[in-house]
Amino acid sequence: MTSFRLRRVAGLLLVGSLALTACSSAADTGSAGKVVLSVNGQPPRTQAFERKVFDEDVAEFEAANPDIDIQPHEGFMDPKTFSAKLAGGQLEDVFYAYFTDPAQLIARRQAADITEYVKDLPHYTEIRQELRDVFAKDGKVYGVPTANYSMGLLYNRQLFQQAGLDPDSPPKTWDEVKEAAKKITALGGNKVGFAEYSKNNQGGWHFTAWMYSVGGKIARQDGDKWVADFNDDKGRQVLQHLKDMRWRDGTMGEKQLLVIEDVQQMMGAGQLGMYLAAPDNVPTIVNQFKGDYANYGLTGIPDGKGTLIGGEGYMLNPKATPEKIKAGLKWIGWKYLNPDRFDKNLKRYKEQGQPIGLPVPPVADIWTGDVKAKQNELKVANATVPVQNFKSYVDATPTGLIEPPNAQQVYAILDNVVQAVLTDRDADPATLLADAEAKVNPVLAQVK
């Protein structure tokens, strides 16, 4: 879903919600041979700490690269206005993009081909391949990932202990989730074993995560078009599992039609055992709903055949000159992909009382190999939260899959499927999926 956008509202550690502003055109040049580079990603003034960090980084980068003049702007790539801004010369040289954006931008030739330039970007090959693939097509590279999230299983360690479950050995399969939910619900006192979203497009978003976890899909390409791909045995399996937990086991509580804030509040109040989430849910639960970091654990998504990923990266204006492309990649690499700055960034956030040790920015978990090892070592050394509680999530390696095309429209339709299973004891998964498929296919037919 616009899940990463949702997380930018809810999470405290991310760069921040950004408002798009006009900028200089890609053709601008500076005096004294300087490359003038317009970039977005600057946090708004309402996020004082993040803004201060960004502006300090601009000054430090310019001091180290006196031939580059950074012109920062608040903003991100807004699909609704992107084409007009590009045509009007108002698009930044370096622009922010969510993982759902690059495929369409590449197809429309609205991002620069940086294949030859990215070869000189330090540590690029140590970024996880599936994240690099989001910004690539047919062997060519059009952008660089800088942060990501993936879905896992968030659980209450305290309730696990009370229910006789081992909090250091969380469920690895959906069947184990089902059994753990029974034991937590059996504690009484209105405890809920497992909760799921089902409205505001969030039900469809999480249905997608379930489908990926069991090896299914939401959409697939059929020739030059997209078609629905969830009306199958895996789709019926997912819905039947939810239906069994809700009605046969009674482990999902009576209150339904939940959204993310409802579930976070339940977890913060110690009333919920488990739900699907990304790591940035944890600081939200602690800061907004009075939770305690020590009480939560995060593990890989059950069954682990795949997981929904989202995230962000940067692309370059298709009108950018070679000099601007080189300068832009130097900025991206220095600011977002620089292992030499890991320790400094962690300490800056730690000094501000931000939690360190979660698998979220300020050091993004996008790495493999030695860079990942260095990152993990520094996180442990600077940790202010129990890192061990999240180790099984960090160690999990399911295949990462991005959201389907026209995700929000698809999710709105799939919301109805999840809602029906959770509110109607007699709902038939096969009928629900067939009806949804008939509605989703016209939505996918709009994808070009």
- Residue 1 is predicted with a pLDDT of 47
Query: For residue 32, what pLDDT is reported?
Result: 63
- Report CA 11 to chain centroid distance, whole Å: 11
pLDDT at 69 over 90: yes
Buried-state track 274-310, b at ≥16 Cβ within 10 A, e below 16: bbbbbbbbbbbbbeeeebebebbbbbbbbbbbbbbbb
pLDDT at 30: 55
Tens digits of per-residue pLDDT, 203-217? Answer: 999 999 999 999 999
For position 3, what pLDDT does the model report?
Answer: 43
Closest CA to 380 of 364, 369, 391, 393: 391
Residue 25 reports pLDDT greater than 90: no
Q: Residue 87 — pLDDT band, cuts 50, 70, 90?
A: confident
Q: What pLDDT was estimated at residue 28?
A: 52
Query: Which residues in 231-384 belong to E strands, given as ranges?
Result: 272-277, 296-300, 307-316
With the C-alpha atoms ordered 261, 264, 266, 272, is the resulting torsion angle positive or negative?
Answer: positive
- Average pLDDT over the chain reads 91
| 291 pLDDT tier (thresholds 50, 70, 90) | very high
- pLDDT score at 31: 54
First to last CA, the chain: 19
Number of alpha carbons in the 13 Å side-chain half-sphere of residue 336: 26
Distance CA 195, CA 182 (A): 12
Using one digit for the tens of pLDDT, what is the confidence trace for 90-101? 899 999 999 988
Please state the separation of Cα 223 from the chain's center in Å. Answer: 29
pLDDT of residue 393: 94
More confident residue, 251 or 5: 251
Amino acid 6: pLDDT: 41
Other C-beta atoms lying within 10 Å of the C-beta of residue 213: 27
pLDDT grade, residue 419 (50/70/90)?
Answer: very high
**Most distant CA pair in the chain: distance in Å?**
74
Mean pLDDT, range 383-410, rounded to an integer: 92
What's the mean pLDDT in 232-250?
Answer: 98
The count of C-alpha atoms lying within 13 angstroms of the C-alpha of 344, restricted to the half-sphere facing its C-beta, is 11
Residue 362 confidence class, pLDDT cut points 50, 70, 90: confident
Q: How large is the average pLDDT for residues 373-377? A: 90
What digits encode the pLDDT tens for the residues 331-360? 999 999 999 999 999 999 899 888 898 887
Cβ neighbours of residue 95 closer than 8 Å, sequence gap 6 or more: 39, 40, 75, 76, 77, 314, 315, 316, 317
pLDDT band at 23 (very low <50, low <70, confident <90, very high): very low
Instruction: Work out the number of other CB atoms within 10 angstroms of the CB of residue 169.
Output: 11
> Do 124 and 55 contact (CB within 8 A), yes or no?
no
Report the relative pairing of strands 307-316 and 143-150 from DSSP bridges: antiparallel
H or E element in which residue 428 lies:
none
Cα–Cα distance, 381 to 346 (Å, whole number): 10
Range name among 87-96, 168-177, 209-218, 419-428 with the lowest pLDDT average: 87-96
Q: Which among 400, 438, 170, 128 has a CA at the least distance from the CA of 298?
A: 170
H-helix or E-strand containing 215?
Answer: none
What is the model's pLDDT at position 353? 85
- CB burial of residue 223 (10 Å; 0-12, 13-18, 19+): exposed
Q: Is residue 237 predicted with pLDDT exceeding 90?
A: yes
Residue 241's pLDDT band (cuts 50, 70, 90): very high
- Cβ pair 54, 41 in contact under 8 A: yes
Q: Is the pLDDT of residue 310 over 60?
A: yes
3-state class of 43 per DSSP?
coil
C-beta of residue 61 within 8 angstroms of C-beta of residue 117: no
At 312 the three-state DSSP class reads: strand
Tell if the pTM clears 0.95, that is, is over it: no
DSSP code, position 427 = -
pLDDT value, residue 29: 52
Count Cα neighbours of 68 within 13 Å in the Cβ-side half-sphere.
Answer: 25
Contact 271, 190 (CB under 8 A): yes
- Give the separation between CA 47 and CA 332, rounded to whole angstroms: 21
Smallest CA-to-CA distance from 242 within 438, 431, 420, 411 is with 420
Worst-scoring range by mean pLDDT, 81-90, 216-225, 229-238, 296-305? 81-90
Which of 20-34, 88-102, 116-130, 354-368 is predicted least confidently? 20-34
Q: For residue 92, what pLDDT is reported?
A: 95
What is the pLDDT at residue 360? 79
2 pLDDT more than 90:
no
16 against 328, higher pLDDT:
328
- Tell me what pLDDT residue 83 has: 82
Mean pLDDT of 389-410: 92
Q: What is the pLDDT of residue 157?
A: 98
3-state secondary structure of 288: helix
For residues 68-97, average pLDDT? 88
For the chain, the C-alpha Rg in angstroms (whole number) is 22
